[in-house]
Amino acid sequence: MGDNAYGLKSSDTAGDVRVSEITIILLIIVTAVVLFVSNKLPVVVVAMAVGLSLWATGILSLPDALAGYGDPAVMFIATLFVVSAALEKTGVTAWAGQLLIEKAGEDSRTRLLVLMMSLGALLTAIISLNGAIAALLPVVVVIAVRLKRHASQLLMPLVFAAHAGSLLALTGSPVNVLVSEAAQDSGFAGFSFFEFALVGIPLVVGSMAIIVLFGEKLLPFRNGESMPADFSRHAQTLVEQYGLSSGVFRLRVKASSPLVGRGRSEVADTKTQHGLEFVAVQDGKTGMPLRRDMIAEGDYLILKGAADAAARLSADLHLALREEADTGEGGDTLFNRSSGLAEVVIPPRSGLIGTTAFPGMVTESGDLIVLAISRADVTLDAAKTELQVGDTLLLQGTWKALDERLTDPDVLVVNSPDLVRRQAVPMGPGATPAVIILLAMVVLLATGLVPTAVAGMLAAGAVVLSGILNVEHAYRAVNWTTVIMVAAMMPLSTAMEKTGAAQLMAEQLVAAVGDLGPYALLGGLFVLTAVLGQLISNTATALIVIPIGVAAAKVLGMSPEPVLMSTAVAAAASFLTPIATPTNLMVMGPGGYAFGDYWKLGLPLMIWFFVVATFYVPLVWRF
pLDDT tens track for 513-559: 766 778 888 998 898 888 877 766 677 788 888 888 888 888 888 88
Number of H helices and E strands in the chain, helices first, is 28, 11
Percent pLDDT > 70 in the chain is 87
What does the pLDDT read at residue 622? 86
Which residue intervals of 219-270 are DSSP H helices? 234-241, 264-270
597 or 130, higher pLDDT: 597
Predicted confidence (pLDDT) per residue in 549-592, tens digit: 888 888 888 888 999 999 999 999 989 877 677 778 777 777 88
Higher local confidence (pLDDT), 170 or 100 = 170
Q: Which of 283, 239, 507, 260 is nearest to 374 (CA)?
A: 239
Residue 7's pLDDT is 39
Domain definitions of the chain by residue range:
11-37+56-61+491-620, 92-218, 248-328, 338-414
The pLDDT value recorded for residue 514 is: 63
What is the spatial order of strands in the sheet that 368-375 belongs to? 378-379, 368-375, 392-398, 339-345, 412-413
Average pLDDT over residues 230-251: 72
> Helix, strand, or coil here: 394?
strand
CATH superfamily of 248-328: Regulator of K+ conductance, C-terminal domain (3.30.70.1450)
| 485 vs 2: which has the higher pLDDT | 485
Distance CA(275)–CA(270), nearest Å, equals 9
Give the pLDDT confidence of 180-199 residue by residue, as tens digits.
988 888 878 778 888 999 99
Residue 114 has pLDDT above 90, yes or no: yes
Does residue 504 carry a pLDDT above 90? no
- Calculate mean pLDDT across residues 438-447: 81
CA distances (Å), 172 to each of 226, 345, 444, 620, in order?
29, 42, 16, 20
- pLDDT value for 431: 85
Highest mean pLDDT among 150-159, 246-255, 336-345, 528-537: 150-159
Q: Is a pLDDT exceeding 60 seen at residue 10?
A: no
| CATH for the stretch 338-414 | 3.30.70.1450
Say if residue 325's pLDDT is above 50.
Answer: no
Q: Does the fold of domain 338-414 match that of domain 248-328?
A: yes
The mean per-residue pLDDT over the stretch 370-386 comes to 81
Say how many CA atoms lie within 13 Å of 96 toward its Cβ. 26
Residue 282 CB-density burial (10 A; 0-12 exposed, 13-18 middle, 19+ buried)? buried
Q: Residue 3's pLDDT is what? A: 47
Rounded Cα–Cα distance for residues 441 and 472 (Å): 22
* Mean pLDDT, rounded, of the chain: 81
More confident residue, 283 or 211: 211
**Closest among 344, 340, 328 to 245, alpha carbons compared:** 328
Q: What is the mean pLDDT of residues 586-601?
A: 82
Question: What is the pLDDT, as a whole number, of residue 339?
Answer: 79
Write the Ramachandran bin of 394: left for phi over 0, alpha for psi from -120 to 50, otherwise beta.
Answer: beta
Q: How confident is the model at residue 495 (pLDDT cuts 50, 70, 90)?
A: confident
Distance CA 478, CA 80 (A): 8
Q: Which residues pair with 302 in a beta bridge?
A: 250, 280
Q: What is the pLDDT of residue 301?
A: 83
Q: Tell me, what's the pLDDT at 328?
A: 45
Report the Cα 422 to chain-centroid distance in Å. 12
Average of per-residue pLDDT across 62-78: 84
The reported pLDDT for the residue numbered 326 is 45
Give the three-state DSSP class for 241: helix
Note the pLDDT tens digit of each residue in 457-466. Answer: 999 999 999 9
Looking at residue 323, what is its pLDDT?
42
- Least reliable range by pLDDT among 37-41, 295-299, 467-471, 476-480: 37-41
The CB-side HSE value for 449 (13 A sphere, CA atoms) comes to 10
pLDDT > 50? residue 76:
yes
Region 248-257: mean pLDDT is 85
- Percent of the chain residues past pLDDT 90, beyond the cut: 18
Q: Is residue 455 within 8 Å of 445, Cβ to Cβ? A: yes
Residue 614's pLDDT band, with cuts at 50, 70 and 90, is: very high
What is the average pLDDT across 69-87?
81
Q: Which tens digit of pLDDT belongs to each residue from 86-112? A: 887 787 877 776 777 777 766 788 888
